[in-house]
Amino acid sequence: MTATGPIEPVDAGTAVVRPPLRRLHVKTWGCQMNVYDSERMTELLAPLGYAPIDAPENADMVLLNTCHIRERATEKVFSDLGRLRDMKTARAAEGLPTIIAVAGCVAQAEGAEIAARAPWVDMVVGPQSYHRLPEMVARAHRAAGLQINTDFPAETKFDLMPQARGAQGAVAFLTVQEGCDKFCSFCVVPYTRGAEVSRPVSAVVAEAERLVAVGAREIALLGQNVNAYHGQGPDGAVWGLARLLARLAEVPGLARLRYMTSHPRDMDDALIAAHRDLPALMPFLHLPVQSGSDRVLRAMNRGHTADDFRRIVDKVKAARPDIALSSDFIVGHPGESEADFRATMKLVDETGFAIAYSFTYSERPGTPAAAQPGQVPPAERAARLQELQALLRRQQDAFNASCVGRVCDVLVTGTARYPGQIAARSPWLQPVHLSGPASLIGQMVRVRVMGAEPNSLAAEIMGNSQTGEQQAA
C-alpha cells in the first residue's frame, strides 16, 4: 500500500507534508520526440510523489507512451495492455491500487478503441494535453472513471510544462517544433500531433542553457518537421531554424548541435549555409525522401520530386563535403510499380547514405493512402524491402570503412561493455568504442579511427580537445 510521507515540523503552527511516495513505470515507443515527452511527463509527475522505476509489476502507475506510425507498434500497445490488466488485478488483490495510462499518438488516434478494448485503463491522454496529467491523475485517484483528454488546446503544452530538467548525460534532446502541416498520404502525424507549432527562441535558448548546466555538451533539436521551425525571436521577428542554430551555437559550454527530422520542402539555403558556417553543427543530415519515383512522391503528397532531393543533396555536399546523409524510405506504397521501385534503388545508388531507415508501407486507418487503389501485395513489399535494405547496408558499411584512418574529435558519452572501455559519438553520429578512463565522460577527445564494425567505429585516443570539432586527414 502506498504510504504518506512523514510530517516535518516547521514552526509551532505550521507543518509540511511530503507528497506520497509512489512508483512510476514509463514505457516508450517510437521516435526520439516520444522519449523527450516521456522525460517531461516523468518530471511533471514528480511533485505528486512519483519516482521512476524499471519494473512495471512494482509500479503504482504505468504510463505507456505510444507511437501510431506502424500498425505493429499499435498492436504491441494492446498486447501490453492485456498483460497490465493481469498485473493490475493481482496488485488489487493485495490492496495495491494501480493507475494505467496511455499517452502518445495511439491515445490521440484511438482513444475510443482503447476504452472499448481495454476498460481497465484509467487515463488516455494525447500529445498536446500532457500538461493536464496532474489533474487527470488526481481524478483517477478519486476513482472518477476513465479520464480521456485528446483535445488540441489553444494553449500549447510548452507554455505549461515544467521548466526543471533533471541531471542529463553528455547528449540531450530538446523539442523546438511539433506537429506537421504537410499531410503526406501515409502519415498520421497531422491528425495525432496537430498543426505545426514552434517554441519561442527565448524558451529554446533557456532550456538549452539549463541542459548545459547539468552536463549536456551536445544537443539535438527535435521536431516532427524541425526545419519548418518558425519561432518568435527576441527581436519580435520570426526566426527560422538556421538563425536558431546560430544563436544556440553561442551558448557557453555547448560543443555540438544536431537537428531531426527534416522535410525537403523546408531545406532552405540559410539552413544549408549553416552547415558550412557553424562549426558546432555536426556534419550529419537526416532528410527523408521516402521514394525515388516522382509518381509515387505525388501519390504520397510529398510536394517535392526526386530531382528536387538530388539538388538539395548537391548543395549540402558543396557546403559541407564531409556530410553524412541519412534518410527514410517507404516501399510498397499503394500504386508503386516495379519501375517505381527501381527509381528508388537508382536514387539510393547515386546518393549514397551513411545510414537510412526503410520500411514497408503500413496501412494506417484514416490516412488517404489507406483508401488508394493498387495496394501492393505484402510478399512483394517484403521482397522489395529486403533488396533495398541490402543496398543500404552495403552503403553504411562503405561509409564506416571510409572513416578508418581519420582523425576527429568524439564526444565521450559513457562507459562501454568491457572494463576499461568508454563509449563516444563521432561527428557523423556513429557509436565509437575506445580504451580510456571514465573521467573522460562528457569531454571532447581527439581520436584516430582504427577500425569499422557494422554499426560502430573503433578508435584510439590521441589527446583531449575542448575547443570543438576539428578534423584532419
- The domain that holds 438 is classified in CATH as 2.40.50.140
| Structure-block grid coordinates of residue 19 | 507528497
Q: What is the pTM of this model?
A: 0.76
Which pLDDT score is estimated for 144? 58
Which of these three, 149, 170, 186, is where a domain ends? Answer: 149
Q: Using CA atoms, how far apart are residues 121 and 124, in angstroms rounded to an integer?
A: 8
251 in helix, strand or coil? coil
Distances 348 to 148, 265, 326, 357 between C-alpha atoms, Å: 44, 19, 11, 12
Q: Is residue 303 part of a domain?
A: yes
CA-angle at 300, arms to 294 and 305, nearest 5°: 30
Does 403 count as an annotated binding residue? Answer: no
**Count of domains observed in the chain:** 3
**Does 148 score more than 60 pLDDT?**
yes
Distances 418 to 322, 399, 423, 450 between C-alpha atoms, Å: 31, 26, 10, 18
**Does 432 score more than 90 pLDDT?**
yes
Q: Is residue 433 part of a domain?
A: yes
Q: Is residue 425 part of a domain?
A: yes
Q: Give the DSSP letter string of 107-121.
A: HHH-HHHHHHH-TT-
Q: Are residues 333 and 254 in the same domain?
A: yes
Which of these three, 82, 115, 149, is where a domain ends? Answer: 149
State percent of the chain over pLDDT 90: 61
Q: Is residue 393 part of a domain?
A: no
**Does 445 score more than 90 pLDDT?**
yes
Q: Please state whether the peptide bond connecting residue 28 to the residue before it is cis, i.e. omega within 30 degrees of 0.
A: no
pLDDT digits (tens, 9 = 90+) for 109-131: 788 888 888 999 998 888 777 77
Q: Are residues 244 and 319 in the same domain?
A: yes
φ, ψ of residue 463 to 5 degrees: the values are 165, 165
Q: Are residues 133 and 196 in the same domain?
A: no
Does 408 count as an annotated binding residue? Answer: no
Which pLDDT score is estimated for 30? 76
Q: Are residues 137 and 163 in the same domain?
A: no
Q: Are residues 124 and 183 in the same domain?
A: no
Q: Are residues 295 and 234 in the same domain?
A: yes
285 bridge partner residues: 325
| Structure-block grid coordinates of residue 207 | 532550456
Could you count the other beta carbons within 10 Å of the beta carbon of residue 378?
11
Q: Is residue 388 part of a domain?
A: no
Which of these three, 130, 149, 168, is where a domain ends? Answer: 149
Q: Are residues 226 and 329 in the same domain?
A: yes
Using alpha carbons, select from 300, 233, 231, 295 the residue that is nearest to residue 264. Answer: 300
Which pLDDT score is estimated for 164? 47
**Does 469 score more than 70 pLDDT?**
no
Structural domain of 122: 7-149
Q: Are residues 204 and 136 in the same domain?
A: no
Q: Give the DSSP letter string of 346-368.
A: HHHHHH--SEEEEEE----TTSG
- The residue among 16 and 7 whose pLDDT is bigger is 16
Q: Which CATH number belongs to the domain containing residue 133 in this structure?
A: 3.40.50.12160
Could you count the other beta carbons within 10 Å of the beta carbon of residue 369?
21
Q: Are residues 203 and 324 in the same domain?
A: yes
Which pLDDT score is estimated for 69? 66
- The residue among 471 and 173 whose pLDDT is bigger is 173
Q: Is residue 40 part of a domain?
A: yes
Which pLDDT score is estimated for 19? 52
Q: For the stretch 43-78, what's the b/e string if a residue is b when 16 or more beta carbons lie within 10 angstroms of its beta carbon?
A: bbbbebbbebeeebeebbbbbbbbbbbeeebbebbb
Spell out the residues 6+ positions from residue 75 whose beta carbon is closer than 8 angstroms to its own: none
16 in helix, strand or coil? strand
pLDDT digits (tens, 9 = 90+) for 367-402: 788 778 888 999 999 999 999 999 999 999 999 999
Spell out the residues 6+ positions from residue 294 whose beta carbon is closer than 8 angstroms to its own: 305, 306, 343
Q: Using CA atoms, how far apart are residues 27 and 48, in angstroms rounded to an integer?
A: 19
- Mean pLDDT score, 333-358: 97
Binning pLDDT at 50, 70 and 90, where does residue 135 land? confident
Spell out the residues 6+ positions from residue 198 whose beta carbon is closer than 8 angstroms to its own: 176, 177, 223, 228, 229, 230, 231
Q: Are residues 144 and 162 in the same domain?
A: no
Q: Which CATH number belongs to the domain containing residue 185 in this structure?
A: 3.80.30.20
Spell out the residues 6+ positions from residue 56 whose beta carbon is closer than 8 angstroms to its own: 25, 27, 62, 84, 87
Binning pLDDT at 50, 70 and 90, where does residue 151 land? low
Q: Are residues 359 and 433 in the same domain?
A: no
pLDDT digits (tens, 9 = 90+) for 197-252: 999 999 999 999 999 999 999 999 999 899 999 999 999 999 999 999 999 999 99
Average pLDDT over the chain, rounded to whole?
Answer: 87
Instruction: Name residue, grid cell 511533485.
Output: 47
Q: Label the pairing between strands 61-66 and 218-222.
A: unpaired
Q: Is residue 280 part of a domain?
A: yes
Q: Are residues 136 and 201 in the same domain?
A: no
Binning pLDDT at 50, 70 and 90, where does residue 78 land? confident
Does 31 count as an annotated binding residue? Answer: yes
| Structure-block grid coordinates of residue 428 | 557523423
Which stretch of 34-38, 80-84, 299-303, 452-456 has the lowest confidence by average pLDDT?
A: 34-38
Q: Is residue 142 part of a domain?
A: yes
pLDDT digits (tens, 9 = 90+) for 40-67: 888 888 888 899 999 899 999 999 998 7
